[in-house]
Chain A
Amino acid sequence: MPDLLITNNIRTLRFFAGEMTQLELAERIGASRQTILNIEAGKYTPSLELAFRIADAFGVPIGEVFEHRTSPAAPSSS
């Protein structure tokens, strides 16, 4: 199965939301600042519920916050 790469536009959306801070976003969606930092850096894939909360915080569809693309699976070594 090909790998699924999930990217996000949170940094851009924060900028267009009046340079909303990570702290403000974290408070709006009920998460910690560390989690926002990790999601933004692509280190953590949030649950669907948290993803929807983030989209709601910016007032945009979830597809504008998160994007995905597939990459071919790495060849098996066996």
Chain B
Amino acid sequence: MSTKSKSIVTSTVAGIVFVAAYAFYVTRPENTPQTLQWWAVTMLIFLGIAIIVLIVVQIVFHMVLAAGIAVSEGGDDSRIKRILASTMAEDEMDRHIELRSARAGYICAGIGFVAVLATLALGASAVVALHVLFGSFFVGSVVSGVVSVYGYERGLRHA
């Protein structure tokens, strides 16, 4: 598996773990039922923490990557820097894969928005609709990651 694929998998797994932590927190007996404002504040707090955690995960990932390259390539600092720069450099293939993965993510988010409207039309509460929207963004993020990894591992052709 390529380094970029590993980076995406790491972020995606961290995201899944975080959503699982959110689900565990909000399904505790003392947290339900609550007002819409409580849900919004809780989601905002979790999103904020998620962003920080994802940044930390990426920093740790790059440190581990650098250490791994140092072990395999010896102690030549300039060569390690060159390999790191070339490994993580972004070029046309990355942009191509990013376009495809973003499109997959937008499709999921779009379907999620329609699902929210359908949920409300069926008489569900705003809290349920909020979670359908949250879930669709999460699924979109995971699908986007899967499409990216597929692109890096199986390759892309201009078709």
Residues of A within 8 A of B (CB): 23, 26-27, 30-35, 37-38, 41-47, 49-50
Contacts and interface: CB of A to CB of B under 8 A. Distances in A.
B92 interface: yes
Contact of A44 (B82, B83, B89, B157): B157
7 contacts: A31-B93, A34-B4, A38-B93, A43-B154, A44-B93, A44-B155, A47-B158
B36 interface: no
Nearest to A46: B92
Given A32-B87, A34-B93, A45-B156, 12 more contacts: A23-B83, A30-B91, A32-B90, A33-B87, A34-B3, A38-B152, A41-B155, A43-B154, A44-B155, A44-B156, A45-B158, A46-B92
A6 to B, nearest CB: 8
Contacts of A50: 91-92
